[in-house]
A and B are shown apart, each in its own frame.
Chain A
């Protein structure tokens, strides 16, 4: 379990700086450092086991059905990365404390840094592909926050957006790749995926998997041609660059390739892609690093170039090449972090990052100079620094490769060219900053010369430490680096253990000659730098961000065009499109049936059925034809509605018939009320084309639906009815199976249902609030409404009917569990009975006698139903488990009570409350707004 603590500590660590930033910079940085250092300690506790060749892992089930587990592991590769992330991360947090100016929000900054650290740690430790991907996305998001930390600057915003777009797109591709890997390997667990390498390589999807995964890795690691985002990410505060572009973010891509090497590697496709992309990146970026004037730009391009080098090594794929790749990951992180820190110091002290304006800083900043020279020498690959060792190994491996067949001999030549450029830009960086005189323009010369000095010791210490480490690792590689590198490369290669020695001196051999050539070439490059710059000036300057923005702009325009095509604001258009889609999809489905009529025999017709069908068809067509005469259309609709209710009676659905009948009454009242507020006779403005289109659409879909229904009715279908019929009495304690399903088997659905009903009621209440009304004072012929508002006969009848109706609804409710009836129907009957009172006597009269808030009724119904469900928790059963028993009540006798009954009470109240809320509120506004017609 201690594994889980490692990312947990850093997650908790994200909150620390926010809480302590008020207490001053020192306290804030010191407290923030606690979490990563503790996590580092935990990682190091596992180091002896891991270096011994074992894998430490833990697993918690998260979403087992999706194959997603909270599974973490520490193997050699994880150990290497965790040490880099936490170690260099802590040093950078310390450095950031000095770097940020006093007024900047250090709490927020350090918190983002910790979030990013957590994400990286998660990638390194994840033992499940989906989990790994989640952390991968988290790095994209947190790096967006970090790169855009100075959100008031447009270049920071643009850089952050570009990084997010590029790496986010890669992330999506990666997810697709991971899903395919999971399919091929049969699991998302990393240990199983790594073991299933042969199955993955043999699967037909292998090229696609490789494409998707490498797209993710290349975008993250800024490999050519996706390198362009990285230089723009330099708009970030320097500690961010030092962290993201030395030890972490961009290393995530090479980490992924190394991690999946046992599963995906060792094929010609893998080797060729990685070597070529790596080589191209190595050379291309090194060339730009040589020409760049911005200090951080130089480092950015050199980072890209070194990542290309690592990719190349992974592509070469021989055991020793992988050792070299792992070793170079370690080395590059060390010297590049130090270099970023020194560039940050120089920027901080001098206020500029332009290499031409700076110069001769050695006498003023000796400590910063020492640090830059040490780390720069490591970057150039001079002995006795660590960069020399890994570069020497690269030379050696490039000589023995056979990746490109007969062309393989080109690789060592190109690698030497890359090395020459690398020596060139490293020398240029150090030379121009500390020894050459600054190239100033006339105005700049007129200004007083810069007075600068080394910064506080705390700001220097992290960089100096790392620079010293590059020297020490170079001097004592077997002691300091070999165990870690050995364990890591073991994890990358699967089971084979390569034998290797890391040493400065291998005797006079070809790699040494190549190194010497690189140094000599680099010096020549430095001397001739002006010529190179002149050649480069011949090409038009191309700003990647402009090209990127242009592509984005085109994309936005295209989507806008498409959106406007589809979404023109016309409901009629949307519905026509929707119906057309339904038509096509259903048509395709139907065309796949062999015959329309199925195997089940047909039932005979009789007169009643014909009469009913005739009524419904008459009503439906009449309603459509008369839609401009709104009252007629509505009456036609109610003919259909009542016939539907009769249909239910005929085909053994008494519950449905009762529900349909009472709903019909309520909705007719509602629509007649609505008619009052809507124009009575709409203008006749419609084109013939539109009518034909709609008729064709309607008729085709009607035909398709009829055919579908016929096909369904004439076939035997699978049913789960037996279960409900069998279990209703013993399990639910009721004989009316429909009601038992509603309140018991599928009680959760019903709970959702009455929630929607209540919400609809509340929403109408809100919609009717403060409404301007269009109310006609009379009918179409101009005759004013009757002055007698409440018909006497109706009032009398309604009053007599009320107790009877309520009695019926109680009866229907009580018998509902065993006979047709139940909460829904009883609720509707009660509502209709009450509405009759309102209609007969008006709102004010009824309100005085029945002072109920229907919103409260509806909500309390919901509450009762929910509480009944929750009640079963008290007895240790799942939500909405029902219980029932038989009780003996004196005088009345044996009755049966089920907890479902209480649930049904909730349903009843919710239905009554919601229905009345809707109707009464709508009806009431007619009363409120009609005082002028009132006869007093």
Chain B
């Protein structure tokens, strides 16, 4: 199970990074969100992968570590704020520059500058 979980996190990371390296704003935003999932899962897993062990007192005899959960909860919300900001920035950038290329100009995507 641990191996499977790590595999998923790894695939999510790889996909996120690949999208992050694209030249247009929209894939970059998606990549950012994808990388966010991977990071959240990773951080969450530092508390251990426990079943039926919610960190609510009285529910379980061996509750899981609540701290990573609290951190990831705020990370999810902040991640949303960041995504929102980048989305609006991308829209604004296109409106100002007339292009949705991350470098602000209509060039070849693979332009090796």
Contacts and interface: CB of A to CB of B under 8 A. Distances in A.
Contacts of B27: 627, 630, 633
A531 interface: no
Nearest to B25: A678
A735 B17 contact: no
B2 A918 contact: no
A753 B77 contact: yes
Interface stretch (A90-98, A356-364, A767-775): A767-775
Best-buried of A702, A725, A741, A760 by chain B (most CB within 10 Å): A702
Contacts of B56: 735-737, 818-820
B45 to A, nearest CB: 6
Contacts of A712: 45-46
A100 interface: no
A644 B8 CA distance: 10
Interface stretch (A309-317, A587-595, A680-688): A680-688
B11 A709 contact: no
Nearest to A690: B110
Given A569-B103, A702-B10, 5 more contacts: A671-B29, A721-B63, A721-B65, A753-B74, A761-B84
Contacts of B80: 663, 666-667, 915
Contact of B17 (A579, A634, A651, A818): A579
Given A653-B69, A760-B82, A699 B4 contact: no
A510 interface: no
A763 B77 contact: no
Contacts of B6: 706-707, 709-710, 713
B10 A709 contact: yes
A613 B49 CA distance: 14
B51 A767 contact: no
A768 B92 contact: yes
B33 A637 contact: yes
Nearest to A753: B74
A616 B4 contact: no
A764 B44 contact: no
B70 A756 contact: no
Interface string B14-43: 111111111111110110011001101110
A735 B70 contact: no
Counting chain A residues whose Cβ lies within 8 A of the other chain, the interface size class is 35 or more
B110 A691 contact: yes
Interface in A696-736: 697-699, 701-703, 705-707, 709-710, 712-714, 717, 719-721, 724-725, 728-729, 735-736
A689 B73 contact: no
Contact of A667 (B33, B47, B98, B113): B33
Given A737-B66, A774-B95, A911 B46 contact: no
Given A604-B1, A772-B95, A918-B84, A709 B26 contact: no
A729 B57 contact: yes
A573 B107 CA distance: 14
Contacts of B26: 627, 630, 633, 674-675, 678, 682
List 3 tightest A-B contacts by C-beta distance, closest first. Answer: A706-B10, A702-B14, A687-B110
Contacts of A609: 1, 4
A718 B98 CA distance: 52
B14 A698 contact: yes
A674 B110 contact: no
A375 interface: no
A760 B81 contact: yes
Contacts of A226: none
B52 A652 contact: yes
Contacts of A714: 2
A650 interface: yes
Interface stretch (A426-434, A485-493, A742-750, A891-899): A742-750
A738 B66 contact: yes
Contacts of B92: 767-768, 771
Contacts of B82: 760
